[in-house]
Structure 1
Amino acid sequence: MLNPWRLRLLSRLDTLGTIRAVAQDANLSASSVSQQLAVLETETRTQLLERTGRRVRLTPAGLVLARRARAILDHMDTVEAELRGLREEPAGLVRLGAFQSAIHSLAVPAVARYPQLDVELLELEPHESIPALRGGDVDVIVTTTDFGQLPLGPDLEIVPLATDPIVLVSSPDRHVPRGPAVLSAYAGEPWALDIAQSYMADLTLRLCRESGFEPRVVSRFSNYLMTLRHVEAGLAVALLPGLAVDPRYRVVTRELAVPLTRTIAAVVRRGSPLRAAVNLVLTALREQPLWTDVSS
C-alpha cells in the first residue's frame, strides 16, 4: 500500500528539484528523505530515482508517480474532510495563499464571512504561490495572471476576480510632473522597489527600461506599508498596485500615461474534485463587494 507521506515527499521532489530542498521544506534531514524515498521504491517495486553525478533525479516512472501523487493526495484530503463533516457542513482545513495587497482587502474579508471554516491564510507573492499550489502546499491562491515568469498552465483552473491599476506613488511635497505619469519624466528620481524577482520589482524595472532609463534604486522593501512610509517621507517614488495604496498614508497617486492593470484571480488545481470548504472560500472571494468582477 502506498504511504501518503512518502508520496508527498516524492511530489515535493518533483516541485523543488533536490533532496536538500525537500528536506528543508519538510524539516527533515536529507538522509531521512532519501531513506523514505528508498522505502517508497521498495513499496512500488519500481526504480523512482536515479543519480546523475552528486544529484538525484526522478526516472520516467518516478515522474509519473510524483504527478499522479498530487491527485491521490487531493482525493485523500477530500475523503478525510467528508468524514469529518458533520451535518453535511463544509469541513477540513483550507489553505489560502494571497499576495500582500490582497490580504487585507480581499482574503481577510472573504474568510471572515464564514467563521465556521478552518482557514489557514498565508502571505505568498506570485513567484511563491504558484509553485506552492502546484506542490500541494496550499488549496487556493489569489494571484495575478500577468506574472510571466511562472505562467498559469492547463494544470490550473483560473477564477477571474478583478482588475487592479498600476499607479505611480509620490509624496505630495515632491515636485513631480502633474497629470498622468510619463515614466521618462521620473528618470532622475530615487525609486523604491519591491524585493528582487518579485512581480512588482520586475514590472517596475521593465517599464522604466522601456521608457529609456535605469531607475536609481534607493530602497527595497517586502512590505508595501514600508514602501508607502518611505514615499510619504519624500525619499522616493514607486510604482504600486492600486490595492496596495493605504489611505492612511499621505501620498499622491497618478495613473500611468499608458494605462496598465493587472488581472487578479483565484486559482486552484485542475483535475481533482474540490472540497465543499474550498468551494465556499472561492465563492466568498468572488462575492467580495470591494471588487469589480471581470469574469464577464
Structure 2
Amino acid sequence: MIDVRKLRMLAELDRLGTITAVAEQLHLTAPGVSMQLAALERELGVPLTERQGRRLALTPAGRLLAGHGRDVLDRLSLAETEVDALRRGGSGTYRLAAFPSAARTFVADAWARLNEEEAGIRLTVTTPEPEDALAALLSGEADLAVVHSYSNIPRLVPDGVETEHLVTEPIWVAMRVDDPLAAEVVELADFAHHDWITPQRGLTCFEMTDRACGLAGFRPRIVAESVDFAAHLAFVAACGGVALVPDLTATDLPAGVHLARPATPLNRMTIAARRTSLRGDPGLDRITGILRATAEERVHASPVEVAQ
C-alpha cells in the first residue's frame, strides 16, 4: 500500500518543482522530504526522481505516479468534504419506507423540500404497510420507517428500534351528504344498519374499523374492502355506504361525500422509526425534522377544513 503522505510529497514536487518549495508548502524540512521520497522509491522498486544539475526532477515513472497521486488526493479531499457534510446532516443517501397515504402527502412534501434546499441528502422511497416497513428496518433494507398506529390499536415496536412522533391525525366518518344521519358529530352506533367499506382484512386499518364498530355495539356489514382509502371515498359516493378514513387519505374528497367527527374520537398516530444503532445520525435527524413539519402542515383540525 502506497503511503498517501509520500504520494502527496511527490505530487507537490511535480507541481512546485523544488524540494524546498515542497517543504515550505507542507510545513516540513527539506531533508525530511528528500528522505520520504527516497523511502518511496525503495518501497516501489523504481526510480521516481533524478538529478538534473542542482535540481531534483521526476522520472517518467515519477510523473506517472504523481498524476495518479493528484487524482487520489482529490478523491480523498472530496471524501473528507462529504464525510463532514454527513456529520452535519447535509449529505448522504437514505432509504425510507413509508405507508402509502404518508408517502403521497407529507413524505413527498419533505422530499421536495430537501431538493429545494439542495442539502445534499438523497432519498430512495418504498411504500410498504407498517409491518413490512418495520421488517425492512430490522433487516437493514431501510434506514427510516414511517409507520402508524391507531388510538384503539396500539403498535408494538420491536427491540432495537426507537421512534419519534411525527403527527396525530383525526379519523373521519365518511358518508353521503344526503344521508339522513349526516351531521357534524355522529354516533357510530347509529350506522349499525348501513353498508360499510373497510380496509382489507388482516391489516391494522381493518382492525381499527372493526374494533371501533365493535365498541359501538355492532359488527359492520361489509360490502367492499380495499387497501386504498381513496377507493373507500369513491365507493361511499357511489353506493351510500360508510367508511372510517384518516385525515391524510381525504385530500381529494369526491363530490357528494360528507365527513363527520365520531362522538368517540379516533386518531391515527404516525411515527418515524430507526434502528437504535442509528441514534444521533445527523442526516436522519434532519429528515425526521422535515417530515414532522410537513406532516403537521397537511393535517386538518376539522372536516370543514378538508372540504374547503
TM-score under structure 2 length normalisation: 0.62
- 2:85 corresponds in structure 1 to 88
Q: Secondary structure at the match of 2:278?
A: coil
More divergent stretch after superposition (142-151 vs 220-229): 142-151
Distance (whole Å) between structure 2 residues aligned to residue 195 and residue 258 of structure 1:
23
Structure 2 counterpart of 1:141, one-letter code: A
Is residue 130 of structure 1 aligned with residue 121 of structure 2? no
Q: Is the 8 Å Cα contact of residues 200 and 227 (structure 2) preserved in structure 1?
A: yes
Q: Distance in 1 between matches of 2:163 and 2:83?
A: 30
Aligned residue for 1:230, secondary structure, equals: helix
After TM superposition, give the deviation of residue 255 of structure 1 in Å.
0.6
Which of 179, 184, 207 is matched with 1:202 structurally? Answer: 207
Give 1:290 deviation, angstroms: 0.5
Which of 289, 294, 297 aligns to 1:290? It is 297
What CA distance in whole angstroms lies between the structure 1 residues aligned with 2:191 and 2:169? 22
Give ranges in structure 2 of 5+ residues lacking alignment. Answer: 1-78, 300-308
The equivalent residue for 2:220 is 215
Structure 2 counterparts to residues 106-185 of structure 1, below 5 A: 106-115=106-115, 116-146=120-150, 148=153, 150-185=155-190
Aligned mate of 2:285, from 272, 279, 294: 279
Question: TM (normalized to structure 1)?
Answer: 0.64
Distance in 1, matches of 2:189 and 2:231, equals 25
The CA RMSD over aligned residues, in Å, is 2.5
8 Å Cα contact 2:172-2:244 kept in structure 1:
yes
Would the alpha carbon gap of residues 159 and 228 (structure 1) be closer, same or farther in structure 2, given more than 3 Å must change?
A: same
2:163 is paired with a residue whose SS is strand
Aligned letter for 1:109?
A: D
1:103 counterpart SS class: helix
Shift of 1:273: 4.9
- Kept in 2: contact 1:96–1:119 (CA 8 A): yes
Which secondary structure state, in structure 1, belongs to the residue aligned with residue 164 of structure 2?
strand
Tell whether the 8 Å contact from 1:162 to 1:291 is kept in structure 2 after alignment. Answer: no
Q: 1:165 to 1:236 in 2, by over 3 A?
A: same
* CA distance in 2: counterparts of 1:270 and 1:118, whole angstroms: 21
1:254 pairs with one of 249, 254, 260: 260
Q: Is the 8 A contact 1:200 1:240 kept in 2?
A: no
Number of matched residues?
211
> Post-superposition shift, 1:291?
5.4
How many Å apart are 1:84 and its aligned residue? 9.1
Question: CA–CA distance in 2 between the matches of 1:273 and 1:178?
Answer: 46
Q: Displacement, 1:276? A: 3.8
Q: Offset at 1:254?
A: 0.6
* TM-superposed deviation, 1:177: 4.5
Q: Is the contact between residue 145 and residue 151 of structure 1 (CA under 8 Å) also seen in structure 2?
A: no
Q: How many Å separate the matches in 1 of 2:183 and 2:83?
A: 59
Distance 1:267 1:286 in 2: 13
Sequence identity percentage: 24
Of stretches 282-291 and 214-223 in structure 1, the one that deviates more from structure 2 is 282-291
The answer to whether 1:266 aligns with 2:265 is no
**1:121 Cα deviation after fit:** 1.5
Whole-Å Cα distance in 2 between the matches of residues 102 and 95 of structure 1?
Answer: 15
Q: Structure 1: 5+ residue runs without aligned partners? A: 1-81
Paired amino acid for 1:290: E
Q: Does 1:237 align with 2:242?
A: yes
Aligned AA (1:279): D
Q: What secondary structure is seen at the aligned counterpart in 2 of 1:222?
A: coil
> Quick one: structure 1 residues 145 and 215, their matched pair in 2 at CA, closer, same or farther if it must change by over 3 Å?
closer
Structure 1 residue 283, shift from structure 2 partner = 2.2
Distance in 1, Cα, partners of 2:227 & 2:244: 14
What do the CA deviations read for 1:248-267 (whole angstroms, capped 9, x no partner)?
Answer: 42211111111121222111
Q: What SS does structure 2 have at the residue aligned with 1:105?
A: helix
